[in-house]
A and B are shown apart, each in its own frame.
Chain A
Amino acid sequence: MIIAAPSVNTCIIDNNQIYAYGLKKLLSIKDLCKQVTHFNNGSEAIAHLKDPGNTQNLPDIIFLDIIMPVMDGWEFMKEFEEIKSQLGKKISVYILSSSIDLHDIDRAKNIPSISDYIFKPVDVKQLQEIFKNLQGIARQ
């Protein structure tokens, strides 16, 4: 069993409260990550990333939903691409969506800073894989 370093910081951007709760709970039960921040939409997350007070507290990984009010996943990615070079930290972004629309999947593939597209709810093995890789990168 791989035990995540306590430093791994996860961010969930999803307007679905129940799903966000579930993912948080799952990460905790599986001991993958204890430090989870949740935002209701892209706009809140961008504000958090941009805030100079959070430079020490930036996420290593973002789980991003697509359909959200105020600022959806695509709009978030557009803003994220603009600011990511100034963040001083490599952040892996995973789309986490219940959409099985090929149009959405292709669109995500064409955005270079998106690591992968994961279907909701979520496969535990897949999550473990993601965090294991993250550990590998962190150790290098």
Chain B
Amino acid sequence: MSFSEDRFSDDSRLHLAQIIDNINAGIWEYNINTRVIKWSAGFYSILGYEANEIECSNHIFFDHLLYHQDKAVFLNALNDQSANSAKPIQIRLLTKSSGYHWFESTIKKQYDKNGQIIYGSIININQYKQAELKATRNDQHYGDTIRIAKLGSWEIDAATLNLTLSKQIYDIFELQTEIKLSIEEGVSFFEPPYRPVIQNAINNALEFCQPYDLELLFRTAKNHVIWVRAKGVPIINEYGKCVTIRGILQDIDSNKRKGLSLESSLNLLTDQNRRLQNFAYIVSHNLRSHTGNLQFMVNLYEETELAEDRTEIFSHIKSISSSLNATIEHLNEIVKIQTEITNERSIISFEAIFNNIQLAIKSNIEAFNARIEYDFSQCPQISYIPAYMESILQNLLTNALKYSHPDRQPHIICHTMKERNHIYLIFEDNGIGIDLERYGDKVFGMYKTFHQNPDAKGIGLFITRNQIEALGGTIKIESTVNIGTKFTIKLV
């Protein structure tokens, strides 16, 4: 039944009914008392039907047109006593040929002579509803992506220096409430050494429109120290001035730490590889040189007939034999460093060890009339492999004597120092020094000798460096020719 077929008493009502039938919306009416239901022609047409193509009945509406999940929504609205002020409801209705569509329906209640009437108009909101659902899905997707990437976005207004932060930024900051932060307060979350870095980057972006992309250490409100990536891109106006910096802050802690640990493993491997190469170098060069000489002398011995030559050649053969032995001993010492590294460390006193060594090379010290001073008060003890410490101190001490300046009394100063978590050993002399610009890090290489000292073997500092590095330390040298040499050793 349609509105125009209703029995209207006068023309104006008929006219109204025609208007209703022609607007692009469906009107429905339901009489609670008589249970009679009416649909306008528009009702049929927005569902894709010709007028009266389907039966206008409660049964058709509830069981065929209305989506089963939306029944409750519709019935609640019907039963709602304050329905006159209620918001329109959104329901899905089955169209003739394109499945369920979203519709919005108003619901009004009215009493007339026939009893209580409920009526409303429906319009197709499918396009808007789909767009809305898609937008919600996109928002959800965007939110998830941002969460998975641990990424937050922020913006600085160049004119006011006002900082705006996204919700995710507060998650990275581990701040419970989204309180307003100034740039300075934001910067203060970075670890002290990185604060000037980020502040400069922001300043440069504001002033010179330079973008930045930095990896920095950050301390959250809950005191977690994490690595973050801070990236900022200046947005410029038509005059080329920065009006806004837009950027992201990303928690890259787990990746960065993996990267750093990989880097330190790489350094360790590089160190070990360098030691192995050194080892291979002595085997190939020094042993080869000795055996070559030996072969050479034996051949010469056979070539010559002169007794006097043979005596001299034989004395060389003896000297080669002892050099060969010494080289083998050196090789053995290097192998020992690698095996002793697992030896137990114990608490040792610098003073006790240093005095023991002075005693052991007493005659040597006296021969040079050396003045030796030490001060281990800043750090009297260390947990170290005792044999290493003895070897390190003895090497440095004998080196200082060996390369003392002939024109003055050798003066050797040894002291320890504690800085942050590291223990340093500093060893200074007033000897002949070495030209580091020329020899550089070769000083610690194997069989590298630089002075024409007959005692120089080029093994001492090589062993010393290996012992120090094997326990995770470093050794640095500063030297001035004819003034002296200073070794700074980071032990742990």
Contact = CB atoms under 8 A, between A and B. Distances in A.
Contact of B452 (A16, A18, A41, A98): A41
Given A120-B292, A121-B293, A121-B295, A22 B451 contact: no
Contacts of B288: 98, 100, 120
Nearest to A29: B303
Contacts of A122: 296
A69 B449 contact: yes
B292 A100 contact: no
A100 B281 CA distance: 10
Contacts of B293: 16, 18-19, 22, 120-121
A67 B286 CA distance: 11
Nearest to B447: A67
A20 B358 CA distance: 39
Given A18-B319, A69-B450, A69-B452, A98 B303 contact: no
A25 B309 contact: yes
Interface string B288-320: 110011011101100110000100110010011
B300 A26 contact: yes
A29 B297 CA distance: 13
Nearest to B453: A69
A13 to B, nearest CB: 14
A22 B297 contact: yes
Contact of A22 (B296, B450, B452): B296
Nearest to A19: B293
Contacts of A98: 285, 288-289, 292
**Which one of B300, B304, B309, B319 has the greatest number of beta carbons of chain A within 10 Å?**
B300
A67 B448 CA distance: 8
Interface string B438-454: 00000000010111100
A3 B292 CA distance: 27
Q: How large, as a class, is the contact surface on chain B?
A: 20 to 34
B297 A18 contact: yes
B319 A69 contact: no
B456 interface: yes
Interface in A46-99: 67, 69-70, 98-99
A16 B319 CA distance: 12
Contacts of A69: 449-452, 456
B284 interface: yes
A26 B316 CA distance: 15
A19 B452 contact: no
A106 interface: no
Contacts of B303: 26, 29
Interface in A5-58: 16, 18-19, 21-22, 25-26, 29, 40-41
A16 B300 contact: no
Interface string A91-119: 00000001111000000000000000000
Contacts of A21: 312, 316
B316 A120 contact: no
Contacts of B449: 69
A29 B300 contact: yes
Contacts of A25: 300, 304, 309, 313
B255 to A, nearest CB: 38
Contacts of B456: 69
A16 B323 CA distance: 12
A15 to B, nearest CB: 8
Nearest to A40: B452
A68 to B, nearest CB: 9
**Which one of A18, A19, A70, A120 has the greatest number of beta carbons of chain B within 10 Å?**
A18
Contacts of A29: 300, 303-304
Interface in B148-176: none
Contacts of B292: 19, 98, 120-121
Contacts of B304: 25, 29
A57 to B, nearest CB: 24
Nearest to B280: A101
Contacts of A99: 284-285
A100 B452 contact: no
**Which one of B289, B447, B450 has the greatest number of beta carbons of chain A within 10 Å?**
B289
Interface of A: 16, 18-19, 21-22, 25-26, 29, 40-41, 67, 69-70, 98-101, 120-122
6 contacts: A18-B293, A25-B309, A26-B300, A29-B303, A99-B285, A121-B295
For the complex of A and B, the 10 pairs showing the least CB-CB separation, nearest first, are A121-B296, A98-B289, A69-B449, A121-B292, A120-B292, A22-B296, A18-B316, A98-B288, A18-B293, A98-B292
Given A19-B292, A25-B309, A69-B451, 12 more contacts: A16-B289, A18-B297, A25-B300, A26-B303, A41-B452, A67-B285, A70-B450, A98-B288, A98-B289, A98-B292, A99-B285, A120-B293
